[in-house]
A and B are shown apart, each in its own frame.
Chain A
Amino acid sequence: MMKINNIIIDDTFAEAFNMRGTRVLITAQNLKWAYHAANAMTGFATSVIGCGVEAGIERELSGDETPDGRPGVSILMFAMGSKVLMQQLETRMGQCILTCPTAAAFAGIESEDQISLGKHLRYFGDGFQTSKVIRDVNGMAKRYWRIPVMDGEFLTEETTGMVRAIGGGNFLILATSQPAALQAAENAVEAMKQVRNVIMPFPGGVVRSGSKVGSKYPKMFASTNDAFCPTLKGVTNTELSADIESVMEIVIDGLTFEDIAASMRVGIEAICDLGEASGVKRISAGNYGGKLGPHHFKLHDIMGKSNS
């Protein structure tokens, strides 16, 4: 049995899926408005089950890191297929970035596969839009669209890259109380935000309603993960011991397997640093028996073999 600071790390794995991902850099007059734009764009994007995409803010960007020298944030967006990703990106660009005062959007990832950022949005300019091909510091020519809007001009790069990515990395925090589980989750998410190329798409990075595949109701293809619901311990095939009163899940989408694994390690370490006294008893992970997702994040491999 693996234990870190007397917190049990289950010998199990998180099961993750292939996705398509992209990154967009959002800049604005100041960080406040960059966050307004980015929060709108990544809103209602917790799960592909109901939102089409999973999206989140990856990190803040200083003026030195953005194409136009203004502060901004980078966002990552993931979908199960390229078509959905393209549709969602265009829709969200149009409703969330175009509309946000002073906001501009730029490609955040290089790839041969390009998807539209402002390519179609330019028609909002009603013929007054203009394009400009500008070489970046590496001499690479990029096309930008300038769309006249009421606050001045909306600037957006024409396309951004789309890459193969992975979604659904996760781990579960099993604690003796709801406040303990939530505090541990918050600590983990704060630590995981320092890892690049990943997002935790759920509210605050935490999900309380982990799901299993299928349901007793034929029309439902996902339903509550009863094995980890503490109030059902006596009536279902539970995974929880008597002292567990609350379970929180952190779901991670990332550009590569290594990124997600690194993020999981950082998050679990942050929880284990709290020690057993925090109320956290176990760390586990959600999977479907290994039959659905090709990527398996084994907790013992990620945390190393050493027991404490």
Chain B
Amino acid sequence: MNALTFTLKKTLQHSLNCAELTPSNLANKLVTEIGSTLLQYGKAKLRVDEIFEITGNDTQNIYFKNSTEKLDYLGANMTSGTMQIEGNVGAYLGFGLKQGKINCYGNTAAFAACNMAGGLLEISGNTGDFLGGASAGLRKGMHGGVVIVKGNAADRVGDQMRRGLILIEGSVGEYCGSRMIAGTIGVLGDTGKFIGFNMQRGTLLLTKIPKLHATIQDCGMHTLPFLSLLFKSFKQYNTKFSDIKSQRIQRFSGDLACNGNGEILLISP
């Protein structure tokens, strides 16, 4: 069986909602059935085969080619299988992802891993604002799973994040870990202003000295035993974080403005 491949064959003017094109939704469907599935395109609905050339038949392994930033909600609510995306993607990549694996070999727009509950999302390029955040109106963001970003992430990474792991090998924008409830975010590159703003719990793992606001307080240098377990767990992922060995950290706690018990751990080289 060959991976079910969707090759974008037209230039899109509007956003296309691709939430229907997941392994669980397409399981046991024939290519003709898949081609007749309707997708929301701006205000209109278009058939899948009007937009994509469809080849292959393995619905548990889906491949998108020629993807652009107009493709939204790729891998939304996925519960099984794998998805690989060649090119950039739009907003809400891996929205509500529960199980399975998504690889994006490009950049993504905002809200990647929004409401994510499980599984693995790997982004080779950069990603937009609110990575692992909550969708509008919800009070809890990502609550499970693992996100690995090889490039940079924009503002508000892990906003209201409840659980799970986000590893960013590049830099992040402002308000990283804002309103974070729990979970772990790692950043190898630089971090923007107001990191951990209104953070309640959770861990921000950094390798470069952050710009801290007044209500994040220094708790000194320590050797924390749990880090050996955390670093050992990183070895199962394709990430530079698995190279970290030092358990020696400087611990900052906060955000004291909201009686927060979160922590920023600055790893000593």
Chain A bound to chain B: yes
Chain A, 31-58, contact with B by CB distance < 8 Å: what is the 0/1 string? 0000000000000000000000000000
How far, in Å, is A9 (CB) from chain B's closest CB? 48
Q: Check A128/B233 contact, CB under 8 A, given A104-B225, A152-B224, A155-B225.
A: no
B14 at interface (Cβ–Cβ under 8 A)? no
Taking CB atoms, residues of chain B closer than 8 Å to A131 are 182
Q: How far, in whole Å, are A67 and B227 apart by their CA atoms in the complex?
A: 11
Instruction: Report yes or no: B226 in contact with A153, Cβ–Cβ below 8 A.
Output: yes
Q: How far, in whole Å, are A130 and B201 apart by their CA atoms in the complex?
A: 8
How far, in Å, is A121 (CB) from chain B's closest CB? 15
Taking CB atoms, residues of chain B closer than 8 Å to A155 are 225-226, 229
How far, in Å, is A117 (CB) from chain B's closest CB? 15
How far, in Å, is A216 (CB) from chain B's closest CB? 55
Taking CB atoms, residues of chain B closer than 8 Å to A127 are 261
Give A268-308 interface residues, CB cut-off 8 Å to B.
Answer: none
Chain B, 229-248, contact with A by CB distance < 8 Å: what is the 0/1 string? 11011011000000000000
Instruction: Report yes or no: B261 in contact with A128, Cβ–Cβ below 8 A.
Output: yes
Instruction: Report yes or no: A135 in contact with B226, Cβ–Cβ below 8 A.
Output: no
Residue of A128, A132, A137 touching B226 (CB-CB under 8 A): A132
B127 at interface (Cβ–Cβ under 8 A)? no
Taking CB atoms, residues of chain B closer than 8 Å to A222 are none
Determine which residue in B222, B224, B229, B233 has the highest number of CB atoms from chain A within 10 A of its CB, and name it: B229
Taking CB atoms, residues of chain A closer than 8 Å to B203 are 130, 132
Residue of B223, B230, B263 touching A152 (CB-CB under 8 A): B223
B156 at interface (Cβ–Cβ under 8 A)? no
Instruction: Report yes or no: B184 in contact with A132, Cβ–Cβ below 8 A.
Output: yes
A139 at interface (Cβ–Cβ under 8 A)? yes
Instruction: Report yes or no: B228 in contact with A69, Cβ–Cβ below 8 A.
Output: yes
B70 at interface (Cβ–Cβ under 8 A)? no
B163 at interface (Cβ–Cβ under 8 A)? yes
How far, in Å, is B162 (CB) from chain A's closest CB? 11
A232 at interface (Cβ–Cβ under 8 A)? no
Taking CB atoms, residues of chain A closer than 8 Å to B182 are 131
Taking CB atoms, residues of chain A closer than 8 Å to B226 are 68, 132, 134, 144, 146, 153, 155
How far, in Å, is A130 (CB) from chain B's closest CB? 6
Determine which residue in B182, B184, B222, B225 has the highest number of CB atoms from chain A within 10 A of its CB, and name it: B225
Taking CB atoms, residues of chain B closer than 8 Å to A137 are 232-233, 235-236
Chain A, 8-41, contact with B by CB distance < 8 Å: what is the 0/1 string? 0000000000000000000000000000000000
* Beta-carbon nearest neighbor of B118 in chain A: A141
Instruction: Report yes or no: A68 in contact with B225, Cβ–Cβ below 8 A.
Output: yes
Give A100-148 interface residues, CB cut-off 8 Å to B.
Answer: 104, 127-128, 130-137, 139, 144, 146
Instruction: Report yes or no: B236 in contact with A69, Cβ–Cβ below 8 A.
Output: no
Q: Check A134/B263 contact, CB under 8 A, given A152-B223, A153-B226.
A: no
How far, in Å, is B23 (CB) from chain A's closest CB? 19
Q: Check A152/B222 contact, CB under 8 A, given A132-B203, A134-B229.
A: yes
Taking CB atoms, residues of chain B closer than 8 Å to A146 are 224, 226
Residue of A67, A70, A104, A130 touching B263 (CB-CB under 8 A): A130
* Beta-carbon nearest neighbor of B183 in chain A: A133
How far, in Å, is B205 (CB) from chain A's closest CB? 11
Chain A, 144-165, contact with B by CB distance < 8 Å: what is the 0/1 string? 1010000011010000000000
Q: How far, in whole Å, are A131 and B181 apart by their CA atoms in the complex?
A: 12
How far, in Å, is B202 (CB) from chain A's closest CB? 8
Q: How far, in whole Å, are A136 and B235 apart by their CA atoms in the complex?
A: 10
Q: How far, in whole Å, are A137 and B242 apart by their CA atoms in the complex?
A: 12
* Beta-carbon nearest neighbor of A28 in chain B: B225
Instruction: Report yes or no: A133 in contact with B263, Cβ–Cβ below 8 A.
Output: no
Chain B, 215-227, contact with A by CB distance < 8 Å: what is the 0/1 string? 0000000111110
* Beta-carbon nearest neighbor of B230 in chain A: A134
Taking CB atoms, residues of chain A closer than 8 Å to B263 are 130
* Beta-carbon nearest neighbor of A103 in chain B: B225
Residue of B222, B223, B233, B261 touching A135 (CB-CB under 8 A): B233
Identify the B interface with A (CB < 8 A).
146, 163, 182, 184, 201, 203, 222-226, 228-230, 232-233, 235-236, 261, 263
* With A132-B226, A137-B235, A144-B226 already in contact, 16 other A-B pairs whose C-beta atoms are closer than 8 Å: A67-B229, A68-B229, A70-B228, A104-B225, A130-B201, A135-B233, A135-B236, A136-B232, A136-B233, A139-B236, A144-B229, A146-B224, A152-B222, A152-B223, A152-B224, A153-B224
Identify the A interface with B (CB < 8 A).
67-70, 104, 127-128, 130-137, 139, 144, 146, 152-153, 155
**Could you write out 14 A-B pairs with CB less than 8 Å apart?**
A68-B228, A70-B228, A128-B261, A130-B203, A131-B182, A132-B184, A132-B203, A134-B229, A137-B232, A152-B222, A152-B225, A153-B222, A153-B225, A155-B225
8 tightest CB-CB pairs across the interface, nearest first? A155-B225, A68-B228, A135-B233, A134-B233, A134-B229, A69-B228, A155-B226, A146-B226
